[in-house]
Amino acid sequence: MIGEKMIDKIKKFLTDTLYLKDIKCIFCNCELDKPSKYCVCDNCLKSLPYITGKVCAKCGEPIKSMATHCMRCKNHVERGFDFARARFLYDDKISKAIKDFKYYGKKYLGEYLSAFLYDLYVLEKIDAAVIIPAPISANSLKARGFNQTEILCKCFADAGLNVNTKCVIKRLETQNQASLNYKDRQTNLAGAFKVVGKSAVKNKRCLIVDDIFTTGATASEIGAVLKKAGATKVSVLTLCHELPDNVKN
C-alpha cells in the first residue's frame, strides 16, 4: 500500500515537474479543487483587474470624467481601427501570466487566456467575419517558436470562427515597442505590416487579436493596412490595456 503522504509527494512531483495544465491556477499557482475553463482559482477569478467601468467609446481606455472619449482619441491621434476593447487592466498578475506565456515556455497558458478573450468577444457582441491574430516578424517567430496571438485565438477557432493567420504579415523587423517612448512607438511600426491576402479581408468586418494594448500603435498600423485593403470595419480585442503614465493613479 502506498501511504497518503507518498501519494501527495508523487502528486507534487508530477504537478511541479511534468504537466501543470488543469491542475494549478495560472495566476497564483495554487492547486485547483475543481475544473475551471480558465484554469484560475476562485480567489483570482474574483480579484482579477477586469475593466468594467466607463471606457473610451473608441479605444476602450478606462475614463473617469464625463467625456465619451479619452484624450488621445479626442485629439484625433492616428487610429487605424474603429473599436478596441480589453478584458483586463495591465497589472502585476496579468503581466506575469503574459510573460510566462510568451517568454518562459508556458505556451499552454495562452489557451486559457484565450477563453477570457473569447468571452469578451461575446460580451461586446463583436460580429467579425475574419479574426486576425496580430502577426509577429519572422525573426520573432523563429526565436519564440510560436506566435502568441495565434494561441490567443484558440477559443475563436474552437467556436468555429474564421481565424486567418496568413492574410497579414509583419514584414519588417522593428524595435520592441515596450522599449520605446510614446512618440517613437507611433513611428517605429510604419510600413511594418502588409496584407498579403486581400480577398480574405476585402468588404469584411475584421477583428485583430493581440495581448497588450498600450498606445494602440500596433492595432492602429494593422488596422490601417486592413482598411486600405478594403476591410469595412476593424475591431481590436486585447487581453489587457496598459494605461499611459499620465492616466495612472
Among the listed residues 48, 55, 56, 169, the single contact to Zn ion using CB under 5 A: 56
Taking CB under 5 A as the rule, does residue 41 contact Zn ion?
A: yes
Residue 241 has phi, psi (to 5 degrees) of -120, 120
Q: What binding mask, one character per residue, do residues 171-190 give for Zn ion by CB under 5 A, x or -?
A: --------------------
25 binding Zn ion? (CB under 5 A): yes
List C-alpha distances in Å: 153 to 40, 77, 118, 160. Answer: 19, 28, 8, 11
112 makes contact with Zn ion (CB under 5 A) = no
Q: What is the distance between the alpha carbons of residues 195 and 212, in angstroms, rounded to a whole number?
A: 21
C-alpha cell of residue 34? 475543481
Contact mark string toward Zn ion, 66..105, x via CB under 5 A: ----x--x--------------------------------
Q: How far is the CB of 7 from Zn ion (least distance, A)?
A: 23
Select the span of 61-69, 102-110, 148-156, 191-199 touching Zn ion (CB under 5 A): 61-69
Report the distance separating Cα 80 and Cα 83, nearest Å.
9
Q: Which residues contact 247 (CB under 8 A, 6 or more apart)?
A: 61, 62, 70
User: Which residues of this chain interact with Zn ion, rule CB under 5 A?
Assistant: 25, 27-28, 41, 44, 56, 58-59, 61, 70, 73
